[in-house]
Amino acid sequence: MQTLTYEFPADRPPARRAHVGVVGSGDLEVLMTPANGAAHVRVRTSVDGFDTVWRTVLERFFARHPVAASFELNDFGATPGVVTLRLRQAIEEGRA
């Protein structure tokens, strides 16, 4: 089990909290809480050694979607495509 933390510049807080996905084989749970000034991301993953992949996927996502929120990602082997999908679902659910 590995915990990774990241912070990205962001200026668009969502209107409300969101919870999408599940912690299951090949999937990812995302919990999003509105915040100010930055995107704070904590990743808990069952797969060690993918720090660079996580950083790259999250940098790309938050460069396109500067959502100011705290994100908790609970991973059980999700692919980069699933990570991006779940993050998009969370920001969509967080809209008013």
pLDDT tens for each residue of 49-76: 999 999 999 999 999 999 999 999 999 9
CB 93 within 8 A of CB 18: yes
Confidence band, pLDDT 50/70/90 cuts, at residue 26: confident
Q: What is the Cα–Cα distance from 2 to 14, expressed in whole angstroms?
A: 28
Task: Indicate the pTM of the whole model.
Answer: 0.93
Tell me which CATH code domain 2-93 carries. Answer: 3.30.230
Q: Give the start-to-end residue ranges of the domains of the chain.
A: 2-93
Beta-strand (E) ranges in 10-68? Answer: 18-20, 27-34, 38-45
Cα end-to-end span (Å), the chain: 35
Q: What is the Cα–Cα distance from 77 to 95, expressed in whole angstroms?
A: 27
For residue 96, pLDDT beyond 80: no
